Structure 1
Amino acid sequence: MVPYTSESIWRVDPLRTALLVIDMQNDFVRPGAPMEVPMARRFLPNMQRILRACRSHGVPVIFTQHILYDHVNVSPLELRIQPHLQRAGIRYGTEGVDIVSELQPLAEEFVVPKHRYDAFYNTQLETLIRTARGPGQVDTVIITGTVTSICCESTARSAYMRDLKVVFVSDANGGFDEASQQATLETIRRAFGRVTDTDTVVAEMDASES
């Protein structure tokens, strides 16, 4: 299979697009946090740029929030694979689950809680995307956030399966390491969507107004 290139696949049209900000929570981003992903922190300025551009062009913004509970094992396989989460991390009611202040959601923006890597699974995400600009108007999602190879990739694949065009931003998705980062980018590029960078996304949105 020949991979798509930026020139051979969809561009970003603000009138048809929603921005997804995946799991940019304190427990993933802050130094020393239980689920710290340094690359997510490094790419935070790019996420801010995309967020500002989307807000200025009226693009609907949807944040996701990965949440576990102390009193209910709501994600048992996740805790089996990552046993350190049995003790602490992304717990409901703590500051750790809050979206980082640098990306603070506005009152009119959506925050979708989830308990699985795929942000569409058992959530209202698809309904919000399908209706955010009026029924059937949004057909494209820009995906940013963390962790690139886990929740971001799972959500991108799920969006594609729902016939949503995926724009996966290479320098606004933070992974655990460079190897897994590049593996996900290649997988998305080959089969699930368009991989591009922050400069290109912002430029295409700005060009739509000219």
Structure 2
Amino acid sequence: MRADTTTLIMIGYQNDYFAKDGILRSVIESDADRVLANTLDTLHALQHTKVLMVSTPILFTDDYHELIEPVGILAAIKESGAFKKNSTGSQTIVELAKFGEHIIEVPGKRGLNAFAQTDLEQVLRENHIEDVVLAGVVTSICIDSTARAAHERGFRVHVLADVTAGRTDMEQQFYCDEIFPLYANVMNHQAFISKVT
């Protein structure tokens, strides 16, 4: 893994998940503080490297007309009014915003997979990315969906076990132990940092 051909893709770093009063904070409540602390540790270590840091926020219109008969978490998002464009809850958390130009924001995510309906693949190809490293939430949903999509597009995929969060500790452990190793490398953030710095 080389810094100049590696990207860190961050999913879900918005107030509706991470703010103390976030609409969907309860989904990741037990791990939100851990994920955020480890994310910031990673970003501080990477900000002066050639690792491409990307954020992929999810945003919806006021009436959620993009969602056709949503189920699961997308139904929960619509019912709770989360991630509405221009709302406080949809904004990138201030902790990430502090890194400013070091993080490229790729807009357009309106579902589980950060590659769908976005320019993410184009951004990665233009930057000659070979290794995709994933951080954020929710492990069994957006992380898994995006990781599989990256694998299917020919990227080497890595998931940061201590910088991702599931809905429960059991779910997080199961995905890191049983699911991700089928198509990705699972590591902690310190191991990742040591490979690219």
Whether these two folds match at TM > 0.5 is: yes
Match of 1:148 in 2: 139
Aligned partners of 1:119 and 1:151 also within 8 Å: yes
* Of 150-159 and 76-85, the range deviating more from structure 2: 76-85
The answer to whether 1:109 aligns with 2:103 is yes
Partner of residue 75, structure 1: 67
Q: Which residue of 2 aligns with 1:26?
A: 15
Match of 1:89 in 2: 82
Offset, 1:53: 2.2
Give 1 or 2 for the bigger CA radius of gyration.
Answer: 1
Q: Give matches, 1:1-210, under 5 Å.
A: 12-36=1-25, 37-38=28-29, 39-78=31-70, 82-83=75-76, 85-104=78-97, 105-107=99-101, 109-113=103-107, 114-132=109-127, 137-185=128-176, 186-189=178-181, 191-206=182-197
Would the alpha carbon gap of residues 157 and 98 (structure 1) be closer, same or farther in structure 2, given more than 3 Å must change? Answer: same
In structure 2, C-alpha distance between the alignment counterparts of 1:167 and 1:90, rounded to whole Å: 27
Deviation of 1:76 (Å): 2.8
State the Cα distance separating 1:91 from its structure 2 match. Answer: 0.6
Q: Distance in 1 between matches of 2:72 and 2:4?
A: 42
Q: Secondary structure at the match of 2:180?
A: helix
Unaligned runs of 5+ in 1: 1-11
Alignment length (residue pairs) = 190
- Runs of 5+ unmatched residues, structure 2: none
- Which amino acid in structure 1 is aligned with residue 2 of structure 2? D
Aligned-pair Cα RMSD in Å: 1.8
CA contact (8 A) 2:53 2:102 kept: no
Task: Evaluate the alpha carbon distance shift between residue 88 and residue 111 of structure 1 in structure 2; reply closer, same or farther with a 3 A threshold.
Answer: same
Larger deviation, residues 73-82 vs 44-53 = 73-82
> Which secondary structure does the structure 1 equivalent of 2:140 belong to?
helix
